[in-house]
Structure 1
Amino acid sequence: MYLRQYIKTNTVKKLVLLIIVIFSSCLEKDKFNPELKSELSSILIRDQGFRELFNGNITEKRKSELLKLLEISEADFLENERDIFRKNDSLNLIKIEKIINKYGYPGKSLVGEPENETAWFVIQHSGKIADYFPVIEKAGQKGELDLVKVAMMKDRLLMNLEEEQLYGSQGKRIFLVWPPIKQTDSKVIIWPIKNPATVNTLRQQIGFKNTVEEYAQSLGIDYKPYTLSEVNQMNSAK
């Protein structure tokens, strides 16, 4: 009798657990938004595509592919590249702000990867980092966005405020002569770091795959741990 009651009770518990699992799974599926994923994919393509195009270090074949993808002519690109670039960033930001206002940060559980990085890219390339960094930081804490991305935006925010960055992820062009005339009148540096002696440990802890020296080398920068005072003395554009 006891055994029969135990089996019956255990079966009921398993059924309840199964119902909870199925219900939770349905909730996760309901949370995922394929239409939003598609919209963010389109925004990401334009954000990254324009930057690849304007960087210029691409083959003619790739250039033609990008022009077609971004729906602009080569003539228009040559004549209005800066205006087109700024207009694209502005339109992308308007779209992302509307999305965040409606859904909060569009993270991994809502749109999957890599579209969960779209809003990050658009904000990182905007003048509104200070406004949206708390949203970005919260997304990272919830696992909706890679913590490395959060760290990079934190560094850019600090650099924009002319404060020392934490992770050494941001470089900046400093003008040694103003107005610049020749190439040697400016140089790109890794923006001053708060604790350069321990920055690589901090980078590793947060998830960066390389050291600050390796990162600088990948950007073609001769790394030197400048102080804010040294940068201010060098910068003739102030």
Structure 2
Amino acid sequence: MKKLFVIILISLNIGLVQAQTYKDFVQKADSCYRAKEYKLSVGYYDKAFKIEQKNTTDLYNASCSAALFKEDKKAFNWLNLAIDNGYENITHLQIDKDLEFLHDKKEWEKLITKFQKKLEVLEANYDKPLQKELLAIYADDQSIRFDFMKIYKEKGTGSKAVDSIGKIMMHRDSLNLIKVSKILDERGWVGKDVVGSQANQTLFLVIQHADLKSQQKYLPMMREAVKKGNANAGSLALMEDRVALREGHKQIYGSQIATNSITKKSFVSPLEDPDNVDKRRAEVGLGPIAEYAKKFDIVWDVEAYKKELPELEKVSNQKKEK
């Protein structure tokens, strides 16, 4: 009986270690991706997927690292697994510059065809014209941001190239806002059961990139949409935070990150009740703030943050005044 008890304890411990290890490997893989260490990123994803292969976001992100490292076999394998596990964002996949290396491979056409056939079954009862319009807006919204980030990383802030593409992005945003406002005013916040999750997400993206007046107008509509299951609670949290900060209040969920213009270090923008932020984040499906902050090279220490908060508020107010 004693031996059996020991075996059970060992089995439980192995299960706990595996659960923690998967998360650790993915975090390391993400960190390496951001540092452009794609070989290391692929290696960590390999280790994570030996434990499980279910999370569509992780599988998709892994394929991006593999494609950037020119590991096309792994990239296609992980993309196929992502699709098999429920990944639906075909428009994002087609415009994602991380995957451009795969476009001239014969497997790419096979993957897209497989993806389209699967979506045809899932989307049989959708409002096709509306979905098509929203997906076109999604592609327009995201493709310019891919271009902006590429130039920003190459040229840095303040460069003419960044300023130029920034103006183009703002112009596109204004045009997309006109289109989405018309849809919202006439149809309301249409759910994924009508247009699919990807087209539904377009509504949030365009309003998230809009002026404060437009955000204030459609925020109550999005709140109601979340209650009805027609919008994502996590996306609403981001919108709530952005509007709160733009109105001069503190954010609630800690989703908004800013950069100190002097130290060049990133920080969590002024946050209400930091002690209970993880509880609020969990309620809307967001992970712990420490994990989120780590993506921006921020070490989250709630006690240190509370001490720094008055200074962070000054920095944030200075940004608004400018």
TM-score by length of 1: 0.69
Q: Are 2:227 and 1:146 equivalent residues in the alignment? A: no
Given candidates 127, 142, 164, the residue that maps to 1:48 is 142
Residues 47 and 88 of structure 1 are in contact (CA less than 8 Å); yes or no, is this contact kept in structure 2? yes
How far apart in 2 are the matches of 1:100 and 1:200?
32
Deviation at 1:59? 11
Aligned to 1:220: 297
Alignment check: 8 A CA contact 2:148 2:162 kept: no
Aligned-partner Cα distance in 2 for 1:173–1:143: 34
Q: Distance in 2 between matches of 1:83 and 1:59?
A: 17
2:193 is the alignment partner of 1:109: yes
| Map of 2:271 onto structure 1 | 193
User: What secondary structure does 1:165 align onto?
Assistant: coil
Are 2:143 and 1:38 equivalent residues in the alignment? no
Partner of 1:197: helix, strand, or coil?
helix
Conserved 8 A contact 1:171-1:188: yes
Give the structure with higher Rg (CA): 1
Q: 2:174 aligns with which of 90, 98, 105?
A: 90
Aligned to 1:175: 261
What code does the residue aligned with 1:45 have?
A
* Aligned residue pairs, count: 185
Shift of 1:223: 3.7
Instruction: Map 1:56-95 to 2 at 5 A.
Output: 56=150, 80-95=164-179
- Normalized per residue, the structure richer in helix is 2
Report the Cα offset of residue 79 of structure 1.
8.6
Aligned mates of 2:191, 2:247 — CA distance in 1: 27
- 1:141/1:230 CA distance change after superposition, 3 Å: same
Please give the alpha-carbon distance, in whole angstroms, between the structure 2 residues aligned to 1:213 and 1:99: 37
Q: Distance in 2 between matches of 1:222 and 1:50?
A: 31
TM superposition shift of 1:234 = 3.6
1:155-166 map, 5 Å:
155-166=241-252
- Give the aligned partner of residue 281 of structure 2: 203
State the secondary structure of the residue aligned to 2:252: coil
Residue 9 of structure 2 corresponds to which residue in structure 1? none
Amino acid at match of 1:129: Q
Change over 3 Å in CA distance of 1:217–1:155 after alignment to 2: same
The AA in structure 2 aligned to 1:51 is R
Q: 1:78 to 1:212 in 2, by over 3 A?
A: closer
TM-score (norm: length of structure 2):
0.52
> Aligned letter for 1:145?
A
Distance 1:134 1:37 in 2: 23
Where relative contact order (Cα < 8 A, 6+ residues apart) is larger, the structure is: 1
Deviation at 1:131, TM superposition (A): 1.4
1:164 touches 1:228 (CA, 8 Å); kept in 2?
Answer: no
Change (3 A) 1:78 1:233: closer
Q: CA deviation at 1:110?
A: 1.9
Alpha-carbon distance in structure 1 between the residues aligned to 2:162 and 2:257? 27
**% identical aligned pairs:** 31
Distance 1:149 1:234, change over 3 A: closer
Measure how far apart 1:42 and its partner are.
0.8
Say if 1:154 and 1:233 are closer, same or farther in 2 by CA, change over 3 A: closer
Residues 163-197 of structure 1 show CA distances to partners (whole Å, capped at 9, x for unaligned) of 11111111123434xxxxxxx3x433211221111
Q: Any stretches of 5+ residues in structure 1 without a counterpart?
A: 1-28, 61-76, 177-183
Q: What residue identity is the alignment partner of 2:237?
A: A
CA gap 1:79/1:148 in 2 versus in 1, 3 angstroms: closer
CA-to-aligned-CA distance 1:40-68 (integer Å, 9 cap, x gap):
011111111111221118999xxxxxxxx
State whether structure 2 residue 314 is matched by structure 1 residue 233.
yes
User: After the TM superposition, which parts of structure 1 deviate over 4 Å for at least 4 consecutive aligned residues?
Assistant: 57-60
